Amino acid sequence: MKVKVIPVLEDNYMYLVIEERTREAVAVDVAVPKRLLEIVGREGVSLTTVLTTHHHWDHARGNAELARLLPGLVVLGADERICALTRRLAHGEELQFGAIHVRCLLTPGHTLGHMSYFLWEEECPDPPAVFSGTGCPVPTCPTSPCPIPLSDPPNSPGDALSVAGCGSRLEGTAQQMYQSLVETLGTLPPETVFCGHEHTLGNLEFAQKVEPYNDHVKAKLSWAKAAGDGAKLPGVARQGGDWGLCSFQQRDEDDVPTVPATLGEELLYNPFLRVAEESVRKFTGKVAPADVLDVLCRERASFERAAEPLQPQARALLALQWGLLSTPRQK
């Protein structure tokens, strides 16, 4: 199993998962179909399926255009609001693409219909991977083939789970979000490769505020700052001097990503997975895990608002740059 990390928009990632024997490919969260098809053509694979984590525009906007260009494309997800959905998935459902197995994990919190995808190959030395949403919004385009309204707040630190953080709770309860993060995602094998937003630095700065004496947070924050300066990343596996996490491929841009990571690492420094730790409880003043998580989410939102948000004009320019503000087609 090979995974291509495809950067789009401000700090989004799309992913192309390739079954190396059959050359079949599965895409996760298609925001910019043209960019995805460039990578599909470069890799020489056949794209058959799209897995969408949730219905927000920056995750599902490309589905309709991709389905138009690739007749017979299967678009899967757990929410009827997902653009161009061909079949709705259920929690615990398992799919298979050649040797690649996919387990569908419903993880409500960011949205009620948020689905994460756990992928692995039998008898393969590569670690399993989980995809839990990877986007940052740009303005709604009324001429889009799928005009989904802007829902993610600017600088949202993630959707279900991101490196050292998690997504804004837009739908559902704190208890649901706790179950999604800690009981569903947090109990996957620790070697699982985890992918998320490129918001690692801000997430770690907040984590340091929560646990100022956590040496793992300090080390990861120093690493993330070095990555921002173009340093090579210390992945779980390193070959030939290039960073990598087994079959994950480096971004197709010059900037160095801070994803992927592993769930085992996240348990050491992500406060949203450490709600049972005394230091995190002390910061929130709460004891019950869901209450601790609820306070963390509110504190994280306040922390994020202190940073200067991307202005609407800049978001519009970003959308124009990626060809997302198209003119209506001639009839």
Active site residues: 54, 56, 58-59, 110, 159, 197
Q: Do 92 and 79 contact (CB within 8 A), yes or no?
A: no
Q: Can you read off the two tokens belonging to residue 150? A: 């802007």
Q: At what angle do helices 200-210 and 215-228 cross, to 10 degrees?
A: 160
In DSSP terms, which residues pair with 26 in a beta bridge? 17, 49
Task: Give the Cα separation of 130 and 66 in Å (integer).
Answer: 23
Rg of the chain over CA atoms, in angstroms? 19
Q: Do 115 and 106 contact (CB within 8 A), yes or no?
A: yes
Q: What is the DSSP code (8-state) at residue 123?
A: T
Q: Can you read off the two tokens belonging to residue 153? A: 């707040």
Task: Give the Cα separation of 84 and 49 in Å (integer).
Answer: 12
Distances (CA, A) of 12 to 45, 182, 329: 23, 24, 27
